[in-house]
Every structure is written in structure tokens, then in C-alpha cells.
Structure 1
Amino acid sequence: MEAIKMQMTEQAAAFFKKEMAEKNEDTLRFYNLAGCCQPVLTAEFEPAQTDDKIEIVDNVKIAIEYAVVDDLKDVTIGIDDTGEEVELVLDGYIIPEPCGCDHDHEQNDEYNHNHN
């Protein structure tokens, strides 16, 4: 497995540190969630699992499910706070091709937050 070169924008690092402190969480975890045709990349604040790869990026602890490590190795984590919710942006992540069903296959933004 190649080394991870994951990066994070200053804006995203500040946002995640603030959110993690407010929610008393210490890990941002990326993992695959079952989708209708293929797994969907998901990110949530939750503890690392036993087999996760742990990275510290700009003092933010990130756990990455083994199945998605290669997909995220050259990604820059950012946020888009121009809308009503803050959205996770993964610059360099290749979204899998849709399978032809009616579901939206954009990355799963369970990690959206309302502006406060």
C-alpha cells in the first residue's frame, strides 16, 4: 500500500477541530456504506475501527477504512460553507460512475452540518 499524502485546507482543519471539540469527538472516520450498486464513501465523527488506517492531518485524527485507503491517498479535505449547510469536499477523490439506477451517487454527505 502506498503512503497516504492526504492534506487538509486550513479552513477545513479549523472547522473540524471546532466541531470535534463541541461534539466531544476525537476522530473523523471515512468508510464505505452499502449502496444500491456499489459502496458509497461516507465520513462521520466516530471512533476508529480495529483495521482502520490512522492519519493525523493538521492535528485532526482521521481513521480510514482499509477498503478506501487507496481512494483517499492523494485527497485534499476541504469544506464548502457557501450554502445553507457546510459540505465536505474531497479534492482528488474520483466519484464512481453511476450504475444506471435512480439513486444519487454523489458522495454521501452524512457529514453535512447546519450553520450555527
Structure 2
Amino acid sequence: MKMTEQASEFFKKEMEENNYDTIRFYNLAGCCHPTLTAEFEPAEPGDKIEIVEGIQIAIEQAVVDDLKDITIGIDQSKDEVELILDGYIIPEACNCEEHEH
């Protein structure tokens, strides 16, 4: 796992201003497959901890292999900052919104 300088500077500033100490990557249940999620939140038991560019990152075991070769970046060209995970393979959509639940 790598991180761009721009992302590193952004996360360090956000973490300092808001008293966060960890970025956590984990899966949330989805209709077809889990959805990768990233938030400023503490590590949970069993998470793999990595320090990337001086930033503590907690990774749920279920996504460790999916994230090992990514580069974390950000896009600040819009109204909101967008997380970019270069190298992450997004699972194919299943059109579950068309099915009745």
C-alpha cells in the first residue's frame, strides 16, 4: 500500500484538526457483494495495521489482499474531496436495484 503526497498531507491535516488517529478500511454488506468503505475510526480487533506515509491505517482482514497493491490518492477538484484507490479492482455491478427486496 502506498499513498500520494497530496493524500498524505490532506489526511494528516484532517486527522490533526479532528483528533483522529486512524483511517480504517472495511467491507459493508451490499445487495450483491460487500462494499469497500473507508472512514476515520479506530482499529478493531483482528485488523491489520499499516503505517503509510506516517498515517496509521487499519484494514479489516477481509480486504487485506484487495488493498495490498493500491495507491491511496485524493481528488480535490470537486466540491468534496474524493478518495482514489489506484489499483483497486471494483467488483462488477449486479443490477440488484432492479430486483425486489
Give the alignment's TM-score, normalised by structure 1: 0.82
Superposition misfits of 4+ residues, deviation over 3 angstroms: none
In 2, Cα distance between equivalents of 1:44 and 1:100: 26
Task: State the 1:53 CA deviation.
Answer: 0.2
Counterpart in the other structure of 1:71: 66
Aligned counterpart, 1:44: 39
Match of 1:23 among 18, 23, 30: 18
Q: Deviations over 1:69-115 (max 9, x none)?
A: 00000000000000110000000000000012238xxxxxxxxxxxx
Stretches of structure 1 that go unaligned for 5 or more consecutive residues are 1-5, 104-116
- Within a 5 Å distance, the mapping from 1:1-116 to structure 2 comes to 6-102=1-97
- Matched residues in 2 for 1:51 and 1:22: separation? 28
Q: Which structure shows the bigger proportion of residues in helix conformation?
A: 2
TM-score normalized by structure 2? 0.94
Structure 2 residue matching 1:85: 3-state secondary structure: coil
> Aligned residue for 1:112?
none
Distance 1:15 1:102 in 2: 34
Root-mean-square deviation over aligned CA pairs: 1.0
Uncovered stretches (5+) of structure 2, i.e. residues with no partner: none
State the structure with more CA Rg.
Answer: 2
Q: In the aligned structure 1, how far is the partner of 2:68 from the partner of 2:20?
A: 23
